[in-house]
Amino acid sequence: MADESYAPTPSTTFNRYKERGSYDVETIHNIFNTTSVVHVSFLPSPDDPFPVILPMIGQIGTYPGDDTAEAACYLHGYVSSRIVKLSGSHDDPGFPVCVTATKVDGYKLALTPFHHSYNYRSALLQGHAALVTDPAEKTWALELITDSVVPGRWAHSRPPDKGELAATHVIKISIVAASAKDAASVPADERKDLRNEAVANAFWAGVVPVWECFGEPVPAPYNKVKVPDHVAEFVKNENANSEEYAVWAAGNVPVKKKREDE
Amino acid sequence: MADESYAPTPSTTFNRYKERGSYDVETIHNIFNTTSVVHVSFLPSPDDPFPVILPMIGQIGTYPGDDTAEAACYLHGYVSSRIVKLSGSHDDPGFPVCVTATKVDGYKLALTPFHHSYNYRSALLQGHAALVTDPAEKTWALELITDSVVPGRWAHSRPPDKGELAATHVIKISIVAASAKDAASVPADERKDLRNEAVANAFWAGVVPVWECFGEPVPAPYNKVKVPDHVAEFVKNENANSEEYAVWAAGNVPVKKKREDE
């Protein structure tokens, strides 16, 4: 992608809090690629008015084996039998899906329920889903997805054999539109409440930082080796980085920007 | 609801790993009501093939002010201007949406990438979304949602005034179908790998427990009081319960049940 932003579409145009919105490619990819589970939505059948949403494991990447490849979203997950069937039964360019990645970074507790909110980061993409059929691209995508869970994991496990690769489905979503939104700050209350001692002296206001935390690795009953560095370091680094971000956001006093919608 | 299970529909019928699936009302409500952010999917316009997914705050509850009320999903969130417009512009019974709540409980690292998976709990519901117009039901729902973030928060903040209530939208989803799925166990590898010393002695297998962790509350710059018990206890209890569940799941060796699809 020559441009470093996705183009806005009617579906990804921000109507409120525009200063929190972004079409920046790096921002969007970063939210997707550091979120442990993404949500994938689609219409299972033309006769059914209800969309479904499946939790899956996904990563955005650009396949290096094809010079013309653009960044796409690759999905894998055993909850995906319906999506696999749909992907296999649609012609080019695939069937329309939406994928979202969300991280909750803090609970913002204001003086009044009306101003309660979250610190969060969320990214959304829309695109066409199709099964990856090229074996080289499929293997590359499985390595990308496996290493996204724990970096280095692919090299530290028994490589898949031919039967396993054949039995594994990877879905590739060509991205049509994408956007991100975030909030990272202290709560905001109204002047009338800050000046009202009956309110300001009665209630606590602040942020409870939130992050995804990893515990001490628990060996499988059949495991024979000690916890390897790639796992131990992943746990240590992730916890430190996630806590640092959530605590930073909880105390962040943003420089006031003029809102475009004001 | 007289029955304690939701009835399966084509969209919520399990095709794989049926032993992990459930229609149990209590299980489904519990996953929704303990998940900090839910994902809401809908078609923004009949001309647009792509669904969108919005992260929102949601709770399932039964409005006590109406004897005929059934359990419904109540949503609130400032990211919801489009969904509010759609809810307001649809006649009874509202417009079709899907809502999902997902908790990641552990990364299951097997000897081979093919058997890597997650411990998780996920619930899905489909239903018709409409704006809550009755002021009493709206106030009740806002208290339900606020107290779902931090129990007791509604009573420990300045009650909303008339203008704030009027400016706040709550969406109610009448539930048409719902299901849940979970996995909570040690990894599973194949006998051929367990017996192959070149594999079993080379790679670590086990689970990294994962949970949503809450940090030390950070007071707002204008806060005047010490951290109250309802916040301090929430942080302590949530962390202890979430860690306990994730660590339990990481070491859980399930009693083998015959799969219905075998």
Predicted confidence at residue B257, as pLDDT, reads: 58
Q: Do B227 and A206 touch (CB under 8 A)?
A: yes
Predicted confidence at residue A81, as pLDDT, reads: 66
| Nearest chain B CA: its distance from A69 CA (Å) | 22
Judge whether B64 is closer than 8 Å to chain A, CB to CB: no
- The token pair at B151 is 């129990």
Query: Which chain B positions have a beta carbon within 8 Å of A201's beta carbon?
Result: 224-225
DSSP-assigned beta bridge partners for residue A215: none
Q: What's the pLDDT tens digit per position in A162-189?
A: 999 888 899 999 999 999 999 999 999 9
Q: How far apart are CA A144 and CA A140, in angstroms?
A: 6
Q: What's the pLDDT tens digit per position in B240-252?
A: 999 999 999 999 9
Predicted confidence band of residue B183 (pLDDT cuts 50, 70, 90): very high
Predicted confidence band of residue B3 (pLDDT cuts 50, 70, 90): low
Instruction: Report the topology of domain B10-251.
Output: Pnp Oxidase; Chain A (2.30.110)
Backbone angles phi, psi at B95, to 5 degrees: -110, 150
Percentage of the residues of chain B whose pLDDT score is greater than 70:
92
ipTM given for this complex: 0.93
Q: Higher model confidence: residue B87 or residue B177? A: B177
- Residue of A39, A113, A217 with shortest CB distance to B206: A217
Q: What's the pLDDT tens digit per position in B29-78?
A: 999 999 999 999 999 888 889 999 999 999 999 999 999 999 999 998 65
DSSP state for residue A134 in the 8-state scheme: -
Predicted confidence at residue B166, as pLDDT, reads: 87
B94: pLDDT strictly greater than 60: yes
Q: How far apart are CA A222 and CA A229, in angstroms?
A: 19
Q: Higher model confidence: residue B211 or residue A260? A: B211
Residue length, chain B?
A: 262
- Spans of chain A, pLDDT less than 50: 1-2, 79, 260-262
Most A CBs within 10 Å: which of B223, B243, B253, as the mutation test of the A interface?
A: B223
Predicted confidence at residue B18, as pLDDT, reads: 72
Predicted confidence at residue B14, as pLDDT, reads: 78
Q: What's the pLDDT tens digit per position in B119-167?
A: 999 999 999 999 999 999 999 999 999 999 999 999 999 999 999 988 8
Percentage of the residues of chain B whose pLDDT score is greater than 90:
77
SS3 A254: coil
Q: Look over chain B and give the mean of its residue pLDDT values, rounded to a whole number.
A: 91
Q: Are the C-beta atoms of A39 and B100 separated by less than 8 Å?
A: yes
Q: Do B52 and A124 touch (CB under 8 A)?
A: yes
Predicted confidence at residue B2, as pLDDT, reads: 45
Predicted confidence band of residue B81 (pLDDT cuts 50, 70, 90): low
Judge whether A30 is closer than 8 Å to chain B, CB to CB: no
Query: With 0-12 CB in 10 A as exposed, 13-18 as middle and 19+ as buried, what is A130?
Result: buried
